[in-house]
Structure 1
Amino acid sequence: MKQTWRWFGPKDLVSIDDTLQAGVEGIVSALHHVPTGAVWTPAEIAQRQREIATMKDGSPSGIAWDVVESLPVSEDIKKQQGAWRDHIANYKTSLRHLAEAGIEVICYNFMPVLDWTRTDLAWRRPNGATCMRFDLTDFAAFDLHILKRPGAEEDFDDALRAAAAERFAKMDDARRDELAKNVVFGLPGAAESFSLEDVRQHIAEYASISEDRLRAHLIDFLSEVTPVAEELGLRLCCHPDDPPVPLLGLPRIMSTEAHYAAVMVAVDRTANGITLCSGSLGARPDNDLPGMMERWGSRVHFLHLRNVKRETTDIRGSFFEDEHLRGDTDMVALLAAALREEARRKAEGRADWSIPFRPDHGQDILDDLGRKAQPGYPAIGRLKGLAELRGAIAGLQHGAAQ
């Protein structure tokens, strides 16, 4: 299993030098500054590769850009409107440029409007650490009383509507503003530029798009780009919905094993694969992560390893980002399943037998608390998570060798 680390580029407050000291073997990155739907040019790709390959003092880092996360899919493609055909053509061109640069794994998602949703970006834990959290009552308060989305009342039962009204009434203006900004932060690249009216407009454009229709749009997209990826020796892998439940009246189509199975079968090519994110899928109690790895491992091209603690047993409920070996996902069982899949691939002679993984998210601890890096991506919290995962992998491998 190749140990990788997400890096957001030169503006990331966690440097390439920091990643080396964490002991990573490769970098996960993207061209976040390129507008969604535009072509990733060879020059821009090469510039990011140079940045990853160079330490602060100019010496070589010895690591490379191994995984793209994400080559974004435009809202026009998801809705099949506007310039969506041009965007698919541009996507194919970007895939060719990435293949020419030697990058093989391309992560993307098909979530409408929001890339992810949290109500707290720095929720304090009893030990003083902070983490990201999704509080369902706070989210209902946002939906009902801040966004004031038409039809929102139908998405919450009487008890939750009452709790949300009480919670909203107790919030001061600062907390209401913070909550709105936290939710909007999940809009790709738009944390500071999207208004609530922008969000309402995006949501309204999905009013006529059902889950079945959105899934059909994903299958149409994959039917176009997967043959190109396969020809180029690339592996595409779709990230799950985060959280994996319906929100804001938007369709969700990558939240469960059944969702993934439908798409994997519809476009039955190895290049059409899965980003198995244990945190996103683990927010639902009915998702079996080790079992999913066993059943669909041949199509898992990338692993996000993080853990969440669910605060209820409901399918849709509150949760927070826990430590990597705590929470509700049996991380050791998931790692064991991943190692078995690697062994199967190696025995089959697959060149891609080693599955890249990254320690996804992490709690802000120690000096992270003052660094204020990208929410969910602290230096020391992720280093701690990587060390724990590395230790678990070593233990499993040692046991298998006995």
Structure 2
Amino acid sequence: MDNIAGQNQGGKIAVNITVIILVLLWLLPTIGLFVSSFRERDQISNSGWWQAPFSVDLNFRARVAADGARQEGTQYVLEGNLFDDPEIAEAFPEDNGSVSAFGTRAVAPDEFTPGTATELRSGGTLTVQADGSFRLESAEPIDRGPTIYLAAETPPRFTLLNYDTVLNANGMDRAFINTLTVTIPATIIPILIAAFAAYALAWMDFPGRGVLIAAVVGLLVVPLQLALVPLLKLHTDIGIGQSFLGIWLAHTGFGLPLAVYLLRNYMVGLPRDIIEGAKVDGATDFQIFTKIILPLSFPALASFAIFQFLWTWNDLLVAKVFLPSGAESQVMTVKIADDLLGSRGGDWGILATAAFVSIAVPLIVFFTMQRYLVRGLLAGSVK
């Protein structure tokens, strides 16, 4: 008995460790996205989100003016400090910058260490110190200042400007409303249709029921990409074309196989005595469905609602195909992809912020209804 108890305890520890690992793997990308949404583009490009609290080495370019050049004996000298450049000073508001390397070519911005004297191609010798001070000596008059590249440690910086840019972007509020306009009906409509179909496949006897169940299971493995063009052509032929009605019906068609499969598996596992007793009492199939089956099937309904809501909210492909391309019909995923990503391809802070704003509502829905998810997914697995 002690050995069995020990094995059970060891199994519980293994399960707990596995669950913790899975939770961390699921949370880490979200945490990384959240942290990146408060960082600036340059820091995101040069270090991972887990390095956000630490200093980051960034490359800068300083254009030195020749106005301050003077003559010392036979030499002409130009001195100054690279951190006086307005663009560089902006990255060091507390005057705590430190040069870790410098160079005179864009292809090698960190070619020399501070304190090293380097020969310029235009003539003269350049020396840059760690505190940003530089000295240029030349035997010829200095008519044009050099361009100096440097790598410097920048302190960690966080900003709310990314959220201000995304939330106040032109048309983002309209895109949010359009996303709700697409998502809510595209979640409710397939649930209503699938609930009736699942009840019929679970509790009503009619010819061809087995074939229909097999067809539903088979449709689960059909990729939606195969149906996009034929379905759009059908919508155009019947007059709904690219419209909200068209995308509602498209999401309904793509979501129905999973909905019918989940709900049918759950309903077939409900106690038969309750349904037979209701029939003995004279209840019709519609009364049994609305007053008994639907209330008992709420976990399965909520489980599918989570899947369908997440799918339609985060969808890009179906929205690009079945909605007009105008700004008045854009959903958030299209708005982010076409406007923010299209015009700000390298602005990773903006993209991370836009992605996090986009997933905020799905996260709320998931955590609100996740207790029903497992119950709905395990429907029919245990008798």
TM-score of the aligned structures, taking structure 2 as reference length: 0.20
Bigger Cα Rg: 2
* TM-score normalised by length of structure 1: 0.19
Q: Determine which structure has greater relative contact order: mean sequence separation of CA pairs < 8 Å that are 6+ residues apart, divided by chain length.
A: 2
